[in-house]
Amino acid sequence: MRKSEFMRVLKDHLLPIPKSYGRVYRVSAVVVPIVWSERLKLLLTRRSDTLASFRGQIAFPGGRPEENEGPLQTALREFEEEIGISPKKIEVLGALRVEKTRLSDFFIYPIVALIDNNVSYKINPEEVAEIFTVNIDELKDCEKYHPLLWSIFQCGSHTIWGATYRIIKKLIGVLNEAKIPYR
């Protein structure tokens, strides 16, 4: 599948990006970056161990809004702050359904974007300890049941769980519904 066809088909199956948040407290927005290469990949981060919350967890780049920001503005600002990729270097495709965290009562707005495989990034060490990619077609083999965390993806040394796991499952559902091959 060519890149332009992939983008068109995926856009048709994603939701429109909300202009504003449904509530003013405990909201955040993330970029769900699909890396365009021979095999589709997801770019993920491991949060810094020095952060006050969610330290060391696997997550998508993102965070809380600043005053008067909508989900798209928040996600793109945080994406650039955390991993140094300018919003001009990505193609925003649409949104997934809002994901509510089970323990911290956050509403996360996932914004799906496409980035090229050769884009360079610069980690902000105050927020991000590591950036890595996972081949989407390998996630099925990484999926496990964990008695304390429900279902997870155990991809090498990375344990993906919670809201990040559920957002990935939503994305895979959209890719399957759109009949988009992962390779």
CATH number of the domain to which 16 belongs: 3.90.79.10
Amino acid in position 100: K
- The pLDDT of residue 183: 60
pLDDT category, 42, cuts 50, 70, 90? Answer: very high
In a domain, 75, yes or no: yes
In a domain, 66, yes or no: yes
- The pLDDT of residue 51: 56
Note whether 182 and 174 are within 8 A (CB).
no
Whether 182 shows a pLDDT value over 80: the answer reads: no
- The pLDDT of residue 78: 95
In a domain, 182, yes or no: no
The pLDDT tens digits of the residues spanning 58-78 come to: 889 999 999 899 999 999 999
Whether 21 shows a pLDDT value over 80: the answer reads: yes
| Whole-structure pTM value | 0.92
Range of the domain at 36: 3-136+163-177
- Indicate the number of domains in the chain: 1
- State the chain's mean pLDDT as an integer: 90
Mean pLDDT across the stretch 21-48?
A: 91
Distance between CA atoms of residues 87 and 113, nearest Å? 10
- The pLDDT of residue 79: 96
More confident residue, 7 or 47: 7
Whether 153 shows a pLDDT value over 80: the answer reads: yes
Q: Which positions ≥6 away from 130 have C-beta within 8 Å?
A: 45, 46, 123
Whether 125 shows a pLDDT value over 80: the answer reads: yes
In a domain, 121, yes or no: yes
pLDDT category, 152, cuts 50, 70, 90? Answer: confident
In a domain, 45, yes or no: yes
In a domain, 151, yes or no: no
Q: Which residues pair with 115 in a beta bridge?
A: 35, 90
More confident residue, 106 or 8: 8
Whether 119 shows a pLDDT value over 60: the answer reads: yes
Cβ neighbours, 10 Å, residue 26: 14
Whether 32 shows a pLDDT value over 90: the answer reads: yes
In a domain, 146, yes or no: no
In a domain, 148, yes or no: no
Closest CA to 24 of 60, 70, 62, 73: 70
Whether 167 shows a pLDDT value over 90: the answer reads: yes
